[in-house]
Structure 1
Amino acid sequence: MAGLAGGRLRHRPDDRRRRRGEHHLTAPSDAIGHDELVWYAAYGSNLLAGRFTCYLEGGRPPGAARTYVGCRDTRPWRASRPVAIPGQLCFGGLSPTWGGGLAFLTHPAAGEARGRGYLVTAGQLADLARQEARVGPEHRLTLTPAGGRWHDVVPAYESVLGLGELDGHPAFTLTTAGSLAAAPPAPAYVRTILAGLVETYGGTPAEHADYLLAAPGVAAGWSGSTLTALIDP
Structure 2
Amino acid sequence: MARNLLTIGFDADDTLWHNERFFQLTQERFAELLSDFTEPDHLMARLLDAERRNLGHYGFGIKGFVLSMIETAIEVTEERVPASVIRQLVDAGQEMLRHPIELLPHAREAVEKLATDHRLVLITKGDLLDQERKLAQSGLGELFDSVEIVSDKTPQTYARIFDASGGTDRALMVGNSLKSDVLPAIKVGAHGVYVPHSLTWALEQAEPPKTEPLYHHIDDLAGLAPLVQTLD
Higher normalized strand content (fraction of residues):
1
TM-score, normalisation: structure 2: 0.29
Greater C-alpha Rg: 2
TM-score, normalisation: structure 1: 0.28
